[in-house]
Structure 1
Amino acid sequence: MLLLSGLQNSCFASDVSFIYINGSNNNNEKMKNWFEKGVKKLHPVLKKRFEENEQIKQLMLSNEGLNIAENPEIFFWGDLSKTDLDFVHQQLDISKNFSPTVAYQVRSLITQYMHDAIWVQKSHHMLPIVQNLNDKIKKEHETGRSVILYGYSAGTFITYEYLFNTLTYINLSELFNTIKVSDEVKEFVRNNPRKDTCIAALAEGKIGVVSSGGKLIFDNNDESLKKHYLDIDSATEKVCSPKGAVKGVVNFASPLVLFYSDLADSDYELTYYNKLMLKYIMENGLFMLTVNFREDPLGFPTSKNLTYEEMEDLLKFQFSNPSGFVFDNSAAWSWRPFFLAHTSYWSAKKQFSKAVVNSIVEGYRFQYDKTYRAKMQKKSKKYELL
């Protein structure tokens, strides 16, 4: 634990807020109340588990551990999809006249549960949500509080897109050396260095945008590109996440892999930027944790748990003083039947809270305590290829 304790000042701040992000099928008042009621039940149990865990205190170099805000912060986006969902239901009502009753009911059920998950992935819906979340995080940061994001179900799409779009993992000099621009522009960038920036700032600063096909498309006019480049720091300040504002992400009941499987394609351009994002997470002491109940049919394991040395081999990057981690624990028990497990993270709050806190400790130790790592790899299936 002494090895770990030297790493943790960069990984947590003393004052932390937990922000809970809703999932799919939370787009009416009844389901909004269900989500908020569940969070309010979970938060004090999770807070207490953090505060009482002795290993967390050792990781924090503090007798007090995290100073977690008394009240949960809730980021709710489900109501934004309601108009579109109402339209889909109107179309479904047409089929009611000629479809068998069972077929109609199944179709309605699929619509209710899947619509938001598909709706929120469209960039013209997702990007405003990401910036609304960023505004909330900035307000917390201005008061001296960092945040840990808790993404539930389709809320995991929001946490991923937030990290991808707002973390400042893009070095502009390196970027302009890799994209197709003139030598004149490359020289201009070298002579006029700017801060590291984020994907969202490239669009805000009119330098480039992510296409629907997953490619970064840049301004091909040298003069306008140079003009906008000089102002990129303003865009970075406006739309990127402040450094240190987010300390970690806990994704749970996560179907992220099912909906973002194209990131496994090495020919998909955004895969390269995801590698840069992972490098940023590892070098800046962030954590990205997935906790799923093993009975949850929609809780998909994120990946094999890799050591940072294995990540370096895969990414072809070298981490500079790594202190963060990415970790998956999809083996937690809810002790609920499978058909209730996806919505049981509130009712099984003690089991879930224990799994989160233990997984944070385990994730750090797995990365940076080689004796512990060897012991756990031998003992547990969580470290096998999932």
Structure 2
Amino acid sequence: MLSLVIPVFNEKDNIDELIQRVEKSLKDYSYEIIFVDDSNDETTAIISQFACGDQRIKLIHRKNKTGLASAVICGFENAQGDILAVMDGDLQHPPEILPKMMKEIEQGADLVVPSRFIPGGSDGGLNHFRKLVSATARYIGKILIKSLRRASDHTGGMFMLRKEVIQGKQLNPVGWKILMEIMVMGSYQNLVEIPYVFSTRNLGQSKLNLKVQLQYVWHIIGLLKRSESDRRFYVFCLVGGSGVLIDMLIFAILGYRFPGMSVNAKAVVSAFIAMVSNYTLNNLFTWKEIRGIKFNYKAFLVNLRRFSKYLMVSSFGILIKSIILFLLYYFLHINKYWGNFAGIVCASFSNYFLSKLWVWREEKASFPIYKRVGEKNSSGVSAKK
């Protein structure tokens, strides 16, 4: 059965048409419509009238609560179906694509995301300002979080999924785009996008404001903290930056305390100390969940072997940086500082992926990466309140 969750806030003029179009679209399916209503106008009474005449329509009225994401979580908690879907209550999401989404689920999709930005789709329902805001939000998310790159439109707000995608997962209802939360924290393999045309709002008022936009940014930051793969990369870059500073500081100190020491010798010593610092910090913070905390002979051997691997990876990174700089500077005649910067970027990616796949790989299975927080509710969704 499909459980369609529709968060609403003061949408009294749209409820009648919305229900009629949903019923027509889903006439061949078993379904329930769950309205999670935060309204302070006649919307609640209108939905209540429909619910009295049709047991497939459910009303959850929340007093003194607002927030689209928390409303969706509330709907999931009360859903009876094994397939969940979400759409807005302002008719900008066309109910007519629900059967297409169901067919994709029936054919093996775990998560179906309608997109305005693939052939056949359109965001024509947005004015130029909202198009700019939407595009900015999308690209900020895609740049910072790897999982969001799997879909072209993670801010659309309409989607469908199998319930097991979020079974036992901690979903933090912050902001306005719960789909981002699911794409980052959910368990799914097959994500399918289908095109849709975003409609113009004819009745009611848009809920987009500065507060909502700031919540989106805060949500991105929160996901970065909770997404291990994304968090690791940025922490790794910060550790690498600290290594550069340590290298330069040690090099300067050696030059001051040991003026007779050769430049190459000082460079080797400062680089080695920086590598030791980087390894220690990566062990403590970047891969903190697999570092091991016991101080014994076995742990010493593990860290010695891992440190040896890290030195090889770092040396390979230095080689990559040198090759990039040489090619850009001598063959393409690019400024040496820009060439050096390009080399550092390439070396950073190389160091990160080799560290992830080789240096810190061996004990990964022995240490849990995620900790489950909160008790499961009836739907299997754990929500942080």
Using structure 2 for the length normalisation, give the TM-score: 0.22
Q: Which structure's CA Rg is the greater one? A: 2
